[in-house]
A and B are shown apart, each in its own frame.
Chain A
Amino acid sequence: MTVSLLFTGIIMGCIIAQVAMGLTLIWGIDGFINVAQGAQLTAGAYFAYYFYARLGMSISVAATLTVLTTCAVVLGVYFVAVQPLGASSPTSKLLATLACHMVIISLVAIAWGSAVQTYGLPVQRDYEFHGLLVSRVEIAILVATGAVVAVMYMLIFRSRLGRRVRAVADRPELARVAGISVQRIEIYIWIINGVCCALAGVLLGAQAGVYPLMGWQLLLTACAAVVLGGIGNPFGAVVGGLIAGCAMATSTLWISPAYEVAVAFGVLAIALILRPKGLFTTATGW
């Protein structure tokens, strides 16, 4: 019982972690909370639904198109709501992305309706490990999260781009003086974020179906994960996501699942009270 709950929490945590990785990069570089993150995930999930379930494309073609279209939406948010506001206050950017959230969610509902829909994936038997039932989608979630973490590690710590990203996150003015185009780094970060959102959206859609508010309901938890992991630290966000997912799943042992969002809120509030700078902060933030 407890083991399967923990497993549910880890699966949830993996999806939260993917959303939180993108969120934390933007939070670290642009200094504000991207409220449209959930809507971006919803968009990704619905694009996959449209290409795969409605148009009947093969999985690989649908996946490629989903990543491309989601990145287009995410870049749209950046160029409409973030980039033009320049150095204005984090709160106005937060409100601007809130506006984007509402626009995206409404457009999704107009295009595909508000009801829960599924990808109609072929039904397959769950695998059994010592009494724990694991579905193929859950294996895909675990593998994909591992892959995203690995790629993110290579990108951030082993590439030229990553070095520049870390420089911009650390001291934007110094980075600019050193000849780094902060604007271009921001665009790269938003594209990486788009891939994270597309992936999380597809996996969550495959696991639980698609509906317009699916991403919004993850936003709070993703924020908790970001704060727990330390803002700007994608690997902290993964740990934060797993902690938040497991906290939410195991809380159902004691209280009704109806209070899941309240639990997420509690985790966020406690995280901010106890560790306002995150669990793993070092002097440089990395």
Chain B
Amino acid sequence: MGYVISVAMLIGIYSLLAVGFNLESGHAGLTNLGFVGVYAIGAYTTALLSLHGVPWPISTLAALAPSLFAAYLLGWATLHLTDDYFAIVTLGFAEAVQTSLTGVSAAGGVYGLVGVPTMFGRFPAAQQYLQVAFVLVVLAAIVVANAILIRSDYGGLLRAAKANVTAARALGKRTPALRRSALLIGAVPASLAGSIYASYIGYLSPAAFGSSLTFLIVAAVALGGNSITGTLLGATVFVGGSQAIQYMTSGGLSSNSALFAQLNVVVMGLVLLGIIRFRRFGVLPFREPSRLAE
């Protein structure tokens, strides 16, 4: 049971990341491969504040400030770029955040931070149930907000700007502001995911914020498609799948668990290649609401 809950926790946390990335890439057309950088900033801010005695709900909310500031700066530096430049520079942002963390002694350097106070620490008996309930409530709130957003006129405008920037501008839509706002809105779930991760797992090391996490989320969103159900499905399949593999291989076959983790990445890579080639819009693509279809 404890194991099922820990998988549910990870699915919840990574689904938050996936929902944020889906808004940016699937709807606003911004292939922001830097969301793990925002996630790391959220996690480290929360952990540092909590280690200095700030209660975790406050440090979770407070972490939004540096995360959103980082997303704003990233947007300022990159939004004038075209698609693939944007992707590579944002990817560079995430890499720069990760490697810089190894150099910041206040963040524990390569060793990271240990002993971060965990969520609901006052209720040891029910802690894990409360944690998973909390992450699912946050996820539900974000999903509902996101569903309303992408079905609103705002979502339609984002997709219009994605489909044809020039046409959207010619119609008087302020596309730079739209794209900037999408980057900021997408940063909110990423930062929350980082905060929850920090106060769930209790220790942070830069290794947890590398390109393989970026890849996991990108593959999940590509598999699921741009609809919210698709995004959640993709995250569940990939996170649940990789955790199940780790679980099955860690009992008795522990010497092979690293091997299976690598094999798992190979499989994800092949799935992503297949999706891009044969089913470009994922398993459950987003359907434009009829109200906006015109």
Contact = CB atoms under 8 A, between A and B. Distances in A.
Interface in B18-42: 31
Contact of A80 (B84, B92, B95, B273): B273
B218 A98 contact: yes
A262 B96 contact: yes
B100 to A, nearest CB: 5
Interface in A11-57: 32-33, 35
Contacts of B87: 33, 91, 94
Given A33-B84, A102-B269, A269 B219 contact: no
A90 B84 contact: yes
Interface stretch (A195-203, A235-243, A252-260): A252-260
Nearest to B31: A91
Contacts of B95: 220, 261, 265
Contacts of A99: 215, 219, 268-270, 272-273, 276
A106 B263 contact: yes
Interface residues of A, number: 44
Contacts of A33: 84-85, 87-88
Given A98-B215, A99-B219, A85 B276 contact: yes
A85 B88 CA distance: 19
A103 interface: yes
A96 B103 contact: no
Interface string A75-102: 0000011001100111110111011101
Given A99-B219, A103-B265, A103-B270, A261 B276 contact: no
Interface in B212-261: 212, 215, 218-219, 222, 258-259
B92 A109 contact: no
Contacts of B259: 110
A264 interface: yes
B262 interface: yes
A261 B96 contact: yes
B215 A268 contact: no
A94 B92 contact: no
Interface string B79-112: 0010111011101110110111011000001000
B280 A262 contact: no
A102 B212 contact: yes
B77 interface: yes
B99 A258 contact: yes
Contacts of A273: 77
Contact of A32 (B84, B93, B270): B84
Nearest to A269: B77
Contacts of B263: 106, 110
A259 B104 CA distance: 9
Contacts of B91: 35, 220
Contacts of B266: 102-103, 106-107, 110
A272 interface: yes
A223 interface: yes
Interface in A104-142: 105-107, 109-110, 114
A236 B268 CA distance: 36
Interface string A151-166: 0000000000000000
B218 A259 contact: no
A216 B212 CA distance: 12
B291 interface: no
A234 B31 CA distance: 27
Interface in B144-173: none
Given A96-B273, A259-B100, A88 B280 contact: yes
A88 B275 CA distance: 13
B88 A94 contact: yes
Nearest to B81: A272
Contacts of A258: 99-100, 102-103, 109
B262 A272 contact: no
Contact of A81 (B83, B222, B273): B273
Given A90-B83, A258-B109, 14 more contacts: A35-B88, A84-B277, A94-B88, A95-B222, A99-B215, A99-B219, A103-B269, A103-B270, A107-B266, A110-B259, A223-B92, A261-B92, A265-B93, A272-B81
10 contacts: A33-B87, A96-B276, A96-B277, A99-B219, A99-B270, A99-B273, A102-B265, A102-B269, A223-B88, A269-B77
Which 4 A-B residue pairings sit nearest by Cβ, starting from the closest? A258-B103, A103-B269, A265-B96, A261-B99
Interface of B: 31, 77-78, 81, 83-85, 87-89, 91-93, 95-96, 98-100, 102-103, 109, 211-212, 215, 218-219, 222, 258-259, 262-263, 265-266, 268-270, 272-273, 276-277, 280
